[in-house]
Amino acid sequence: MLLSPISHPLHATVRVPGSKSLTNRALIIAALANGVTTIHNALESDDSAQCVESLQRLGFVVGAKHASPRSEAERDASPLRVVGLSGHIPSSHAELFVGNAGTAARFLTAMLTLGHGEYIVDGDARMRERPIGDLVDALTQLGANIQPNYQSHSASLQGLSLPITGHQLCLPLKVIASGLKGGVTRVTGDISSQFLSGLLIAAPYAQSPIEIILKNDLNSKPYVDMTIAVMKDFGVEVEREGYSRFLIAPQCYKAQPEFMIESDASAASYFFAAPAIVSGTVRVENVSRDSKQGDIAFLDVLQKMGCEVTEGNDFITVGAQHAAPLQGVDVDMRDIPDTAQTLAAIAPFANSPTTIRGIASARVKETDRVAAMCNELRRVGVTVEEYDDGLKIYPCDKIQSATIQTYNDHRMAMAFALIGLRAEGITIDNPSCVSKTFPNYFEVLESLRI
């Protein structure tokens, strides 16, 4: 997809889809709850579809509340109806495919330990490279029986001695479930916060209380806060000591007749950032600084760079003017790593270098995002220094024409498309990869021209 620069200051209003992170948490918690939950503004994308399909394969009733044919606008507004079964998993055997959805892979693996039977969890080629061993170790400490599914994984097991444990373990997995006993478990927090979130979501249905102790510092802390907030929305309380210790007593999630999903703050970041590149203003609706989503803090980064942020009850407007040059920043993004690519895309237009730190965990996302950002910035002529946990980006007076490689990573496509709003000759390879979380992204991006 060849992008055309926008030659005038922006004056646009957009709306982005529902939060992927909130949608997948709500889907699984609703399935574990004690009745019917109707989820509004749920994300419709590859990631959420794979979560829905997995729940359906497990025997849960999950579907649109209105099944009649609908227009695109009506489809996006249709609520999802989830029939929860109080922690019971209907099917005793199922094979689940999660694509490259990390939340679905980690949350479903923990959830399946509550069942009774044998389940397979598998994903695409990249998901088979993304670590899950620390979650398996933590669940094993609580009495779970989870094994590598050797038959499905034979090709990727070549050259490795068995059994595979710890960081080496990836999908596919076989969960041999007979309920989760409970007790004390220790889990790492520096690879993925989804390990801790998966444990928390499943914990209320263990046979005895669960105590979770973090073995090291936790990355992406706001995502754990989000998990606990959604659990509380469904009636489950978590005792905690900061981010080091969590205690969950046996409880039951209470179905919510109406549960509203916020618009995705990570997706909103691209439109918050657009004025920093083109100038003008963009208003994003159905978002608030009071969001459960940690990525709303990306607004603080933009303010440090010189952008103006205006907040309303259900919208946020970001503005920037060419007369006030964009300033480079030095920022630790360990708590908001999904917005690092957004910052990387606007950093070359600043008047001083930008340093992004604390994102070592981004190397085990949909791609090695640190390496990918460095590769693609260099491709368009930007000078970059790569570190183990981040990168330093220097201002660039002349962006070169190039085809941006996306590595099948939706965030690479969405973030680096922003460069094409100002620079000539920017082409996005494999733009369809945005279907993972934002299927109509380029349509919304194009609306900025109006």
Active site residues: 338
Work out the burial of residue 62: count CB atoms within 10 Å of its CB; fewer than 13 is exposed, 13-18 middle, 19 or more buried: buried
- Ordered alpha helix ranges (H), 330-382: 340-346, 369-379
Q: Quote the CA–CA distance of 403 and 351 in Å, as a whole number.
A: 25
Contacts of 352 (CB under 8 A, 6+ apart): 327, 328, 395
Q: What are phi and psi of 333, to 5 degrees?
A: -115, 25
The DSSP code sequence of 103-143 is: HHHHHHHHHHTTSEEEEEEE--TTGGGS--HHHHHHHHHTT
Q: Quote the CA–CA distance of 346 and 2 in Å, as a whole number.
A: 19
Could you tell me the CA-to-CA distances from 286 to 52, 73, 186 in Å, in that order?
A: 24, 16, 38
Q: What are phi and psi of 433, to 5 degrees?
A: -65, -15
Could you tell me the CA-to-CA distances from 352 to 222, 307, 331, 358, 392 in Å, in that order?
A: 29, 15, 13, 20, 11
Structure tokens at 152: 């499905």
Work out the burial of residue 154: count CB atoms within 10 Å of its CB; fewer than 13 is exposed, 13-18 middle, 19 or more buried: exposed
Start-to-end C-alpha separation, the chain: 20
Distance of alpha carbon 26 from its chain centroid, rounded? Answer: 14
Work out the burial of residue 213: count CB atoms within 10 Å of its CB; fewer than 13 is exposed, 13-18 middle, 19 or more buried: middle
Contacts of 188 (CB under 8 A, 6+ apart): 134, 195, 214, 215, 216
Helix or strand (DSSP H, E) at 12: strand 10-15
- C-alpha count within 13 angstroms, C-beta hemisphere, residue 423: 26
